[in-house]
Amino acid sequence: MSIALVILAAGKGTRMDSDLPKVLHKIGGAPLLHHAMLSASALEPERTIVVTGHGAELVEAAALDFDADAVAVRQDEQLGTAHAVRQAKQALAGFEGDVIVLYGDTPFISTDTLDAMRAARASNDVVVLGFQAADPGRYGRLVMEGNTLSRIVEYKDATDAERAVTLCNSGVVCADAETLLDLVDAVGNDNASGEYYLTDIVGIAGDRGLKSTAVTCDEAETIGINSRVELAAAEATFQARMRVSLMDSGVQMQAPDTVFLSFDTVIGRDAEIEPNVIFAPGVTVESGARIRAFSHLEGAHVSRGAIVGPFARLRPGAELAEQVHIGNFVEIKNARIDEGAKVNHLSYVGDAEVGARSNIGAGTITCNYDGVMKHKTTIGRDTFIGSNTMLVAPVTVGDAAMTATSTVVTRDVPEGAMAIGRADQVNKDGFARKLFSMLRAKKAKLGKG
């Protein structure tokens, strides 16, 4: 059966105390909204509808950035969750299949849980996702009669017996599109808040002879983010899960609690990650590579057997081939480093290609920016770049060529040639003694004054 998603993302998130819409705050380098969309994307939804409100343009842009086919609809007045679902009515026109209602600030609902809800739909008209709460607090309670969900009771309206129930409501709902829209249209706002609550559809469904049930998941999946404290806790949960997942797949981490990962980090088996490494979005590390301590990677690809760090930085567009060595205090940006090449010390290589087996000496800089445009440096195979070389792009150094230490390269260097470009050294006999004597006398005079 076809599936559609309605993701509610209209809330302001007042407790965040932020100008940024709540669903755009990040976990693992990605907005909360993207996490919600990611878990559901495995269901291959026919339609994805994001209901926006506060900061609508920013939220809509983020939704389209994740899924160019997503449809955004606006809830100009935040009048409750049922009211929010109503805003998707036109976007669901002509759709025949099930709809799952998700929340943009609830990032951890798993694909397996959503599959379980879809399976339960085969014998139920409405399926609600619940969880057994360690501390039910003020959550809405799911009141079951056997396998049937008879009603959802808000804490403030619950009896003592109902408050003793530990099966709580996550807010996630699955129902046939026509049924869901008919039910939300029937929801009223005769309550203290004057809002239209999605939870009311269970009671309405029962009155109409429709059957509802609940599927349960681990409480950790249902965490909603309403404050920066909760955001930090969710980040910790995300990181812990990612570390365990990677180690279970064969990645070696010496101090996993010090390694920070992004939602899309990919690391192959037998790769070794040393302490205090940060993976920003867009990083792939192949099997057998080693990322040494205190390195930062973003938008980079590290091939099999490569070594990065310690204290290295790979910026977007860094592409390291097999057996490449990138050493301490080296920065690589938008550059391909071919097989077996080495950039071991204190260098910047940006907007460049470095050929196989070439060696880049300490202190080398590709001078890629003229203040307006970026320019490319091309270094051939088996080439030796002497320490403290400045490569003023655009420039090419041919295969098996070399540059002398402290050379400023402003013209192409032919294959097999050696480039030397530095001022002649002049020695002035006795000048150092005279200069130091003069400076010390000046210092002494100033001290007396």
Query: Residues 392-404: pLDDT tens digits?
Result: 999 999 999 999 9
Average of pLDDT values for 413-420? Answer: 97
For residues 66 and 21, state if they share a domain.
yes
For residues 201 and 318, state if they share a domain.
no
For residues 297 and 171, state if they share a domain.
no
For residues 101 and 212, state if they share a domain.
yes
Helix (H/G/I), strand (E/B), else coil: 351? strand
**Burial state string for 43-68 with b = 16 or more CB within 10 A and e = fewer than 16:** bebebbbbbbbbbbebbbebbeebbe
For residues 318 and 185, state if they share a domain.
no
CA distance 373 to 445: 50
Residues 331-372: tens digit of each pLDDT: 999 999 999 999 999 999 999 999 999 999 999 999 999 999
Q: Which helix (H) or strand (E) holds 11?
A: none
First to last CA, the chain: 91
- The phi and psi torsions of 17 (rounded to 5 degrees) equal 50, 60
For residues 218 and 233, state if they share a domain.
no
pTM above 0.85, yes or no: yes
- 101-115, 181-195, 230-244, 366-380: least confidently modelled range: 181-195
Q: How many CB atoms lie within 10 A of CB 401?
A: 23
For residues 263 and 398, state if they share a domain.
yes
Measured at the CA of 397, the angle between CA 394 and CA 398, to 5 degrees, comes to 135
For residues 243 and 316, state if they share a domain.
yes
Q: Give the distance from CA 255 to its chain's centroid.
A: 21
- C-alpha distances in angstroms, 105 versus 66, 259, 362? 16, 25, 47
State the total domains in the chain. 2
Q: Is residue 348 part of a domain?
A: yes
| CATH number of the CATH domain containing 305 | 2.160.10.10
Residues 203-244: tens digit of each pLDDT: 999 999 999 999 999 999 999 999 999 999 999 999 999 999
Residues 365-395: tens digit of each pLDDT: 999 999 999 999 999 999 999 999 999 999 9
Residues 55-90: tens digit of each pLDDT: 999 999 999 999 999 999 999 988 999 999 999 999
CA distance 347 to 332: 8
List, in sequence order, the alpha helices (H) in 187-271: 200-207, 228-248
Helix (H/G/I), strand (E/B), else coil: 396? strand
Beta-ladder partners of 279: 297
pLDDT surpassing 70 at residue 258: yes
Q: Beta strands 30-31 and 126-132: pairing type? A: unpaired
Q: Is residue 433 part of a domain?
A: no
For residues 217 and 253, state if they share a domain.
no
CA distance 297 to 52: 33
Q: Is residue 401 part of a domain?
A: yes
**Whole-number pLDDT of residue 446:** 87
Residue numbers annotated as active site: 345
Helix (H/G/I), strand (E/B), else coil: 207? helix
For residues 159 and 45, state if they share a domain.
yes
CA distance 292 to 313: 11
Instruction: Look at the block and give the residue holding tokens 């320019």.
Output: 375
Residues 6+ apart with CB under 8 A from 64: 70, 72
Full residue range of the structural domain in which residue 71 is found: 3-222
pLDDT surpassing 80 at residue 449: no
Amino acid found at 166: T
- 83 burial type by CB count under 10 A (0-12 exposed, 13-18 middle, 19+ buried): buried
pLDDT surpassing 60 at residue 254: yes
Q: Is residue 436 part of a domain?
A: no
For residues 98 and 235, state if they share a domain.
no
**Whole-number pLDDT of residue 448:** 57
CA distance 306 to 325: 6
